[in-house]
């Protein structure tokens, strides 16, 4: 063992590092990155000395850093002068991969621009290339670099849950961590698909969907029992043994043994008919019809595919669509279309491979993954997913048979979904161009923000902001503002809008104060901005639409002027027209008299749609806040009283009002309530 190897080993945690890395000469830090739900691995966050590279950018700084890189697997991050991560990549050999960037010869404009903007790099050395691949996917999802392939929609998938922690199990829609005891079935492509399936399963198996507290407090059957959606176990309308049989049948059906269940129900129906018990036979008939309804909504149900995800990719018009179908227990649980952000110059195999690594970063992996085409590092990806799942995961491109039919069907769906998206994008582009012409803008807006308030006589007041862009509504940019000021007169819409504007643009100045200036500078420098398709959605709006007339606009412009941003954005007011009829709206723009648009003008329809969306969001936010206030307990206001102690107090005293009247000695008798906590509760209700 060389002296350097011996020194590294003595430091610990670097047994697998190549011997040319000296832990004392380099900036090293042992980190633990999650590779998945059940897997973690140790890597070394390593940044070589870059003193000689200060002030350099592009290939020069990379040439300086590459000299001290090891021939070891790992992940590298390329960052600009502001510290923003531009790109995250993995490599079997960091030295060889990064050397390619240092040579200054690039196959695409995207890589060339990425290298030109690079001011520094960071590296993570891993033990294996598999760990590098998993860490790369994790970092891409967390950091969202501009030049990587990015998933736009990363919501968790919903499941059906049959609970196992109650004498009468219930059936529910579940999303998130599987912490509750029971059986989970899915994933489903959407919450709507889960809702429709549960609705049909309730008709077929008469399972309850109420909460445990609702179940415990019933003295007579609820409405679901009356409309034959529940067997009524809460009030003993069915025995626990009989209900357990229904639950077992539901598990069999959801586990893929649907034919067995249908045969048993059909036999029971025939027997009831022979016994002249036609009422019971009708119940079995309705259950069979409900099961048929479930299966008819599942579309394709393959005979040879028990558990698999099917992916197909289609590229057209500079955009990408990846369609995924979910098959579990031989049943089709729906499909979803994704539109990842990727450079048009990238091959489909590279886009799909990067997408798959990110897709399964935090999701359970099926036993088989079927693809429409071969992806880069396919064998490595299969090995990495197998490592995470703790069992074999097969990735294949079917060439014939039923599996080939499934990938062909997914590819056809991808083509159609992308075609619809391109048509919608084209229409949106025309509308934005018309919007710019109508309101005298220099160019079509990229980000439009629409604002509105919602309240009832000033109570539970909420301000709402929705955002629209070239691809329609951008829902992950929506924001709501709970009106906080105590100086605003209840019902003062002008005061509410002033608060919303001040909070929104004050924060925008703090977090993105130089965004507009940097965009202008880039354009003046002659960079091909259209080519940077991986750039993020802009933080600064080009236009703000205010649901209100001249009074609202005066309040808004005063705030924008005080903050010094009046020249950065165009503010437009939309006042309801005569008799508040749609089509008679008046528009208020600085420097112009108020005006209306022709009733059939497409731009008018576009603005009405924006206004209706902000109405919907504002009213929904207000209702949610109002509902929360209605069920609010006085115990919620006591610091140090969490859900457990709150539950214990309510179970002991019955109501919050009874808690407020209790003496300290009575409070101390509650399990989990110490003398100090008892005094805290007592003092809260007896301030005098």
How confident is the model over 557-573, as pLDDT tens digits? 888 888 888 888 999 99
Q: Cβ distance 313 to 290 under 8 Å?
A: no
Which pLDDT does position 318 carry in this prediction?
A: 83
- State residue 219 phi and psi, 5-degree precision: -115, -15
496 and 365 together in one domain: no
451 and 550 together in one domain: yes
Sign of CA dihedral 395, 401, 405, 406: negative
Structure tokens belonging to residue 369? 């993954």
169 and 28 together in one domain: no
Domain boundary among 589, 606, 628: 628
With respect to residue 542, please indicate whether it lies within any of the assigned structural domains.
Answer: yes
Domain boundary among 261, 296, 331: 296
With respect to residue 527, please indicate whether it lies within any of the assigned structural domains.
Answer: no
Q: What is the pTM of this model?
A: 0.69
Which pLDDT does position 205 carry in this prediction?
A: 84
Q: What is the pLDDT of residues 411-470, one digit of tens each?
A: 999 999 998 888 888 888 899 999 999 998 999 999 999 998 887 776 778 889 999 998
Q: What is the pLDDT of residues 256-291, one digit of tens each?
A: 676 677 777 788 788 888 878 787 788 778 777 766
202 and 285 together in one domain: yes
Which pLDDT does position 295 carry in this prediction?
A: 57
Rounded to 10 degrees, what is the CA torsion of 83, 88, 94, 96?
Answer: -100
Task: Look up the CATH number of the domain holding residue 413.
Answer: 3.30.420
Which pLDDT does position 583 carry in this prediction?
A: 64
Which pLDDT does position 100 carry in this prediction?
A: 84
Where are any strands of DSSP class E within 535-688?
A: 543-547, 570-575, 586-589
With respect to residue 46, please indicate whether it lies within any of the assigned structural domains.
Answer: yes
Q: Cβ distance 359 to 375 under 8 Å?
A: no
Asked which of 204-213, 493-502, 652-661 is least confident by mean pLDDT, the reply is 652-661
* Average pLDDT estimate for 10-24: 40
With respect to residue 327, please indicate whether it lies within any of the assigned structural domains.
Answer: yes
Asked which of 1-10, 98-107, 446-455, 515-524 is least confident by mean pLDDT, the reply is 1-10
With respect to residue 234, please indicate whether it lies within any of the assigned structural domains.
Answer: yes
Q: What is the pLDDT of residues 375-398, one digit of tens each?
A: 988 999 999 999 888 889 999 999
Mean pLDDT of the chain: 80
169 and 265 together in one domain: yes
Which pLDDT does position 524 carry in this prediction?
A: 35
176 and 249 together in one domain: yes
472 and 562 together in one domain: yes
- State residue 181 phi and psi, 5-degree precision: -70, 135
Domain count for the chain, please give it.
Answer: 5
With respect to residue 148, please indicate whether it lies within any of the assigned structural domains.
Answer: no
Dist. CA 522–CA 529, nearest whole Å? 8
Q: What is the pLDDT of residues 519-555, one digit of tens each?
A: 443 333 333 333 333 346 788 999 999 988 888 888 8
With respect to residue 432, please indicate whether it lies within any of the assigned structural domains.
Answer: no
Interacting residues of 459 by C-beta distance below 8 A, sequence separation 6+: 490, 626
* Average pLDDT estimate for 368-374: 93
Range of the domain at 363: 308-421
Domain boundary among 296, 331, 346: 296
184 and 249 together in one domain: yes
Q: What is the pLDDT of residues 572-592, one digit of tens each?
A: 999 876 655 666 788 998 888
| 8-state DSSP, 192 | H
Which pLDDT does position 465 carry in this prediction?
A: 93
Q: Cβ distance 348 to 373 under 8 Å?
A: yes
Is residue 633 over pLDDT 80? no
Q: What is the pLDDT of residues 131-173, one digit of tens each?
A: 888 889 889 888 888 888 888 776 778 888 999 888 899 999 9
Give the up-direction half-sphere exposure of residue 618: CA atoms within 13 A in the CB hemisphere: 26
Q: What is the pLDDT of residues 282-337, one digit of tens each?
A: 877 877 776 666 655 555 667 678 789 999 999 988 889 999 998 887 777 888 89
Pairing between β-strand 368-371 and β-strand 394-396 as defined by DSSP bridges: parallel
With respect to residue 52, please indicate whether it lies within any of the assigned structural domains.
Answer: yes
358 and 229 together in one domain: no
Task: Look up the CATH number of the domain holding residue 645.
Answer: 1.10.150.20
Q: Cβ distance 342 to 401 under 8 Å?
A: no
Dist. CA 30–CA 635, nearest whole Å? 45
100 and 54 together in one domain: yes
112 and 197 together in one domain: no
Task: Look up the CATH number of the domain holding residue 468.
Answer: 3.30.420.340
Question: Which pLDDT band, with edges at 50, 70 and 90, does 32 fall under?
Answer: very low
581 and 455 together in one domain: yes
């Amino acid at each position: 063992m060389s002296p350097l190897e011996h020194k590294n080993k003595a430091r610990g945690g670097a047994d697998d590092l190549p011997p040319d890395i000296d832990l004392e000469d380099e900036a090293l830090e042992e980190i633990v990155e999650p590779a998945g739900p059940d897997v973690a691995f140790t890597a070394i966050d390593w940044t070589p000395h870059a003193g000689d590279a200060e002030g350099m950018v592009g290939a020069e700084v990379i040439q300086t850093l590459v000299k001290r890189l090891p021939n070891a697997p790992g992940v590298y991050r390329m960052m600009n002068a502001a510290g923003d991560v531009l790109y995250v990549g993995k490599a079997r050999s960091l030295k060889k991969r990064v050397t390619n960037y240092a040579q200054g010869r690039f196959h695409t404009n995207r890589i060339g621009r990425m290298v030109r903007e690079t001011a520094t790099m960071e590296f993570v050395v891993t033990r294996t290339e598999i760990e590098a691949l998993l860490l790369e996917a994790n970092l891409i999802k967390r950091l969202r670099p501009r030049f990587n392939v990015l998933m736009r929609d990363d919501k968790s998938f919903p499941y059906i849950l049959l609970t196992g922690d109650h004498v009468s199990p219930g059936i529910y829609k579940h999303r998130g961590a599987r912490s509750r005891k029971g059986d989970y079935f899915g994933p489903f492509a959407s919450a709507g698909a889960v809702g429709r399936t549960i609705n049909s399963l309730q008709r077929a198996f008469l399972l309850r969907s109420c909460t445990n507290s609702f179940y415990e407090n019933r003295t007579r059957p609820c409405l679901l029992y009356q409309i034959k959606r529940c067997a009524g176990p809460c009030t003993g309308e069915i025995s626990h043994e009989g209900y357990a049989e229904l639950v077992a049948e539901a598990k069999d059906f959801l586990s893929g043994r649907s034919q067995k269940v249908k045969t048993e129900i059909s036999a029971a129906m025939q027997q009831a008919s022979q016994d002249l018990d036609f009422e019971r036979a009708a119940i079995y008939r309705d259950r069979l019809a409900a099961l048929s309804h479930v299966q008819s909504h599942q579309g394709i149900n393959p005979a040879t595919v028990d558990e698999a995800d099917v992916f197909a990719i289609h590229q057209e018009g500079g955009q990408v669509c990846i369609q995924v179908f979910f098959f579990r227990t031989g049943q089709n649980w729906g499909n979803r279309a994704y539109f990842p952000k990727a450079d048009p110059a990238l091959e489909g195999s590279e886009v799909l491979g990067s997408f798959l690594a990110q897709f399964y970063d935090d999701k359970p992996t099926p036993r088989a993954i079927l693809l429409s085409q071969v992806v880069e590092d396919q064998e490595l990806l299969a090995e990495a997913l197998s490592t995470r799942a703790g069992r074999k995961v097969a990735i294949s491109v079917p060439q014939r048979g039923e599996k080939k039919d499934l990938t062909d069907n997914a590819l056809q769906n991808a083509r159609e979904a992308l075609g619809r998206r391109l048509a919608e994008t084209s229409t949106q582009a025309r509308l934005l161009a018309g919007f710019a012409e109508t309101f005298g803008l220099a160019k079509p807006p990229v980000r439009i923000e629409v604002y509105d308030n919602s309240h009832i006589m000033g109570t539970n007041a909420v301000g709402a902001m929705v955002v629209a862009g070239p691809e329609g509504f951008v829902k992950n940019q929506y924001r709501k503002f709970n009106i906080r000021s105590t100086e605003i007169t209840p019902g003062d819409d002008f005061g509410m809008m002033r608060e919303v504007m001040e909070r929104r643009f004050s924060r925008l100045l703090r977090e993105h104060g130089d965004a507009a200036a940097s965009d202008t500078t880039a354009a003046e420098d002659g960079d091909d901005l259209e080519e940077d398709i991986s750039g993020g959605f802009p933080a600064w709006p080009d236009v703000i639409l205010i649901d209100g007339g001249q009074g609202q606009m005066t309040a808004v412009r005063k705030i924008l002027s005080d903050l010094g941003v009046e020249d950065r954005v165009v503010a437009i007011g939309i006042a309801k027209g005569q008799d508040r009829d749609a089509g008679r709206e008046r528009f208020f723009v600085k420097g112009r008299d108020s005006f209306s648009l022709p009733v059939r003008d497409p731009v008018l329809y576009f603005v009405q749609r924006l206004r209706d969306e902000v109405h919907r969001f504002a009213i929904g936010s207000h209702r949610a806040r109002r509902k929360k206030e209605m069920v609010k307990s006085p115990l919620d206001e006591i610091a140090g009283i969490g859900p457990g102690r709150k539950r214990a107090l309510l179970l002991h005293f019955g109501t919050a009002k009874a808690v407020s009247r209790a003496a300290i000695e009575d409070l101390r008798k509650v399990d989990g309530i110490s003398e100090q906590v008892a005094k805290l509760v007592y003092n809260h209700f007896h301030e005098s």
